[in-house]
Amino acid sequence: MQPTQPSWPARLRRINPTGAFLAALALMLVGLFAPGVVGGAALFLLAGGLVMLLRLTWPAVPPAGRLLRLLVLTLLVAAALAKIF
């Protein structure tokens, strides 16, 4: 049976980098400036996208880059939890 949709890496290659950056920036700004649960949810959504990208690119990233990405992800989740609580 053949898959009907392309894989995640194939889908990501078709995304416009400028549009992805602007969408992530908008989501980050909404997350930082929106009050309470709304801001926390936006930051968690951004963290979920980052986890997906981290999982797909993990083998290609050197160990120092992996550590930096995990640090950024940790800070993003901590900011989201601080917004909610």
Query: Do residues 76 and 47 make contact, with C-beta atoms less than 8 angstroms apart?
Result: yes
pLDDT attached to residue 1: 54
Range of the domain at 42: 36-85
Domains held by the chain: number:
1
Task: Say yes or no to pLDDT of 6 above 80.
Answer: no
* Residue 23 is assigned to a structural domain of this protein: no
pLDDT attached to residue 3: 65
* Two tokens, residue 53: 């990208």
* Residue 59 is assigned to a structural domain of this protein: yes
* Cα distance between the two ends of the chain: 47
Mean pLDDT, rounded, for 7-16? 82
* Residue 12 is assigned to a structural domain of this protein: no
* Residue 42 is assigned to a structural domain of this protein: yes
* Residue 26 is assigned to a structural domain of this protein: no
pLDDT attached to residue 17: 92
* Residue 28 is assigned to a structural domain of this protein: no
